[in-house]
Amino acid sequence: MIDQTKQILADLIAFPTVSADSNLSMINYLCDKLEKAGARVDIELDGSGKKANLFATLGPDRDGGIVLSGHSDVVPVTDQDWASDPFEMIEHNGRLFGRGACDMKGFIAATVAMAPMFARHVHHRSLHFAFTYDEEVGCLGAEQLAQSLLARSTTPSLAIIGEPTSMQIIEGHKGCFEYTTRFQGLEGHGSTPDCGVNAVEYAVRYVNRLLELRDQLRNMAPSGSRFEPPWTTLNVGSLTGGSVHNVIPPRAEVEWEMRPTQSSDANFVKDEIQRYCDEVLLPAMRTIHPGAKIETETIGEVAGLIPTDENQALKLVSELTGTNCADLVSFGTEAGIFQSLGMDVVICGPGSIEQAHKANEYVSLDQLKQCILMLEKLGQALARS
């Protein structure tokens, strides 16, 4: 199985599925592999027709199935100092190098390599494969897949998200909400600032209000929160605008994000910052220029994975791995989207997040073997169910 997994992983790494580009070649490759194993495969294109999700099923078409999920896209390699071609797998000292090796083509390769075995063992409980597009830029494919799953007559009950966790079980992470806020003012000469609307100045006031809200969030942490830090965080990533020192800048842009521990915190921030715009900033801007605007684009609002007292996915993966403990992580995944559909969800996959997104990304053979062992035990469990 490790040799088959390595070959499939080499093939997957060779597909340069950077989020900005198409993933169709990789999806078609996975479709062929799974269909040959006997799976029923659905491919769902995005609006552009250049990207797709894959959802495949082995076993009966009934409620209560198990989902093995991974994203097909990878982050860019631009300006990274790789020791080898990032889209050609290299094996060295027990490590497999290549873009996506751990995030998260290693897990996908292992599940597809195991598909023929799963096909022999699945009898009464269905097993699903969910491979998505554009996780790295806002979980766009998973959001589309979620809508498709809602429309189905049958619903899976468990999901295992194979993000790199060093094969440790993860039961929770914060959400990730990303925004770009744009300011339209009125340009003019720097010597007469009262005759223009300085978009940069209003963007600065907007940022100051966000920072005030960030301080308030520290006192709103849920009781007993296990997250680190325990409260919802807020970060301003960039503020851009203006061109030269003697021109009133008519446009500015703020990129910001928050990582909510609970949905009420996200609603609080969005309501408060919108109220500040409507009651303070916009009236002042429009006193001078009625056409002044403040517009916020939602880049992505990815739900967090909330730890629950009863989690059948956690129970199952604990039995498969022999691990009785579960932890939380700071990075985001698609897990919360599957949880929002009513599934019990955990994250567990080969490789370390410490290698993800970096030059010379790798997954160790030992990690892949541990993943294969978990999947073999999953096949045995399916045979008994």
Question: Mind listing the pLDDT tens digit for each residue in 305-339?
Answer: 999 989 999 999 999 999 989 999 988 899 999 99
Where are any strands of DSSP class E within 307-378?
327-329, 344-347, 362-364
Active-site residue, selected from the candidate residues 103, 135, 265, 361:
135
| Whole-angstrom distance, CA of residue 282 vs CA of residue 240 | 19
**pLDDT beyond 90 at 254:** yes
Active-site residue, selected from the candidate residues 73, 103, 178, 301:
73
Neighbours of 34 (CB within 10 A): 24
What local confidence, expressed as pLDDT, does residue 220 receive? 95
What local confidence, expressed as pLDDT, does residue 326 receive? 95
Are the C-beta atoms of 251 and 201 separated by less than 8 Å?
A: no
Q: What is the mean pLDDT of residues 237-261?
A: 96
The stretches of 191-288 forming alpha helices (DSSP H) are 199-217, 263-276, 282-288
| Residue 73 annotated to the active site | yes
CA gyration radius, the chain:
24
What local confidence, expressed as pLDDT, does residue 66 receive? 98
| Residue 135 annotated to the active site | yes
| Whole-angstrom distance, CA of residue 339 vs CA of residue 206 | 34
The rounded percent of the chain whose pLDDT value lies above 70 is 100
**pLDDT beyond 90 at 22:** yes
Cα distances from 166 to residues 144, 169, 271, in angstroms, run: 28, 9, 39
What local confidence, expressed as pLDDT, does residue 138 receive? 87
Q: In this predicted model, what pLDDT tens digit does every residue of 264-310 receive, in sequence order?
A: 999 999 999 999 999 999 999 999 999 999 999 998 898 899 999 89
What local confidence, expressed as pLDDT, does residue 385 receive? 79
Question: Which letter does DSSP use for residue 330 in this model?
Answer: S
What local confidence, expressed as pLDDT, does residue 141 receive? 96
Q: What is the mean pLDDT of residues 5-15?
A: 98
Task: Give the pLDDT band (50/70/90) at residue 34.
Answer: very high
Q: In this predicted model, what pLDDT tens digit does every residue of 356-374 receive, in sequence order?
A: 999 999 999 999 999 999 9
Q: In this predicted model, what pLDDT tens digit does every residue of 94-147 receive, in sequence order?
A: 999 999 999 999 999 999 999 999 999 998 999 999 999 999 988 999 999 999
Spell out the SS3 assignment of 131-147: EECCCCCCCHHHHHHHH
In DSSP notation, 250-274 reads SEEEEEEEEE-SSHHHHHHHHHHHH
| Whole-angstrom distance, CA of residue 239 vs CA of residue 110 | 42
What local confidence, expressed as pLDDT, does residue 132 receive? 98
**pLDDT beyond 90 at 56:** yes
What local confidence, expressed as pLDDT, does residue 39 receive? 97
What local confidence, expressed as pLDDT, does residue 239 receive? 98
In DSSP notation, 57-124 reads EES-S-SS-EEEEEE--B---TT---SS-TTS-EEETTEEESTTIIIIIHHHHHHHHTHHHHHHH-SS
